[in-house]
Amino acid sequence: MHRCIFPIWGQERPFAVPEDAVDKEHFKESTDGNERITDVSEPTLSFFPASGPGVHPALLICPGGGYSHLSWLVEGLDIAGLANLAGISAFVLKYRCPQRREAAHADAARAMRLIRHRAQEFTICPEKVGAIGFSAGAHLAATISAPANPVPYPAIDAADECSFRPNFLALIYPAYLADDQLKLAPEFRIDEATPQTFLVQSENDSVRVENSLAWYWELKKHQIPAEMHLYPDGGHGYGLLRTGSAASAWGEATSAWLKRINGIPR
């Protein structure tokens, strides 16, 4: 896949800390073939354009990792390939970590705005820009889809005049969305502007299936279209890995949904 990488901030960057002046970003040691990045202080977007003529839909990809690292391969680069095969251009977000939630939220909002602001350059449709997130990355994608606080950071330039809310949203084994009583976390407020959502989770997920159930229930209360796939097994953090579990079918189901809502022939 061809890609280009570009920063999402200039000199002015909200939620900066003095430690950002020292580049400590690195890949963590891995024994399972996945690539995990941590100590990110310079947020970027990696752009993977869809092939073929014409204007394409786009997808912002938010890898998971508990806000301590980014599951860069399994929940980032692999997902860009899934999007491209569906005819959708992909942007993989490298957001600040570890434990930089406010900064990560600003990074995701800025990324969506930049994608729309530069839509002509990227040959994408600014009215068809969605987001997909995994685990903590799903929480991050949700924070720009149904924010209780509609101002993620003070406006900096013309790009910040664009909306940061996705046109469609996919939450894959999401974390931190709700408690076991199906009450959403206080950083969320679902309303008529919340995008239609595709949800995936396994019943034996260690981060609790209530996260998906609560989001789905709130969407239905507000008559927002939703599709949920609840698998009997699969655990957590599998990405597109073929584990032999029921949840391994999520990739094909998500691809079909992405094509359907964006009017792409199957």
The two tokens of residue 105 are: 């939220």
Average pLDDT per 10 consecutive residues for the chain, totaling 266 residues: 86 92 90 91 97 95 98 97 97 97 98 98 97 98 96 96 98 96 95 97 95 97 97 94 91 97 91
Farthest-apart Cα atoms in the chain, separation: 49
Sequence spans of domains, the chain: 4-8+22-261
Is residue 135 within 8 Å of residue 84, measured between CB atoms?
A: no
The two tokens of residue 129 are: 């820009």
The residues, any chain, with a CB within 8 Å of residue 163's CB and separated by 6 or more, are 112, 113, 116
The pLDDT assigned to 190 comes to 96
The pLDDT assigned to 2 comes to 63
Is residue 174 within 8 Å of residue 138, measured between CB atoms?
A: yes
122, burial (CB in 10 Å: exposed 0-12, middle 13-18, buried 19+)? buried
For residues 44, 50, 54, 58, the Cα torsion angle rounded to the nearest 10 degrees is -50
The pLDDT assigned to 1 comes to 54
Q: How far apart are CA 90 and CA 49, in angstroms?
A: 6
The pLDDT assigned to 242 comes to 84
The pLDDT assigned to 33 comes to 80
Of 188, 150, 205, 141, whose CA–CA distance to 168 is shortest? Answer: 141
Q: How far apart are CA 25 and CA 247, in angstroms?
A: 32
* Domain 4-8+22-261: assigned CATH number: 3.40.50.1820
**Of all helices (H) and strands (E), which one includes residue 114?**
helix 101-117
Buried b / exposed e along 201-210 (16+ C-beta atoms within 10 A): bbeebebbbb
234, burial (CB in 10 Å: exposed 0-12, middle 13-18, buried 19+)? buried
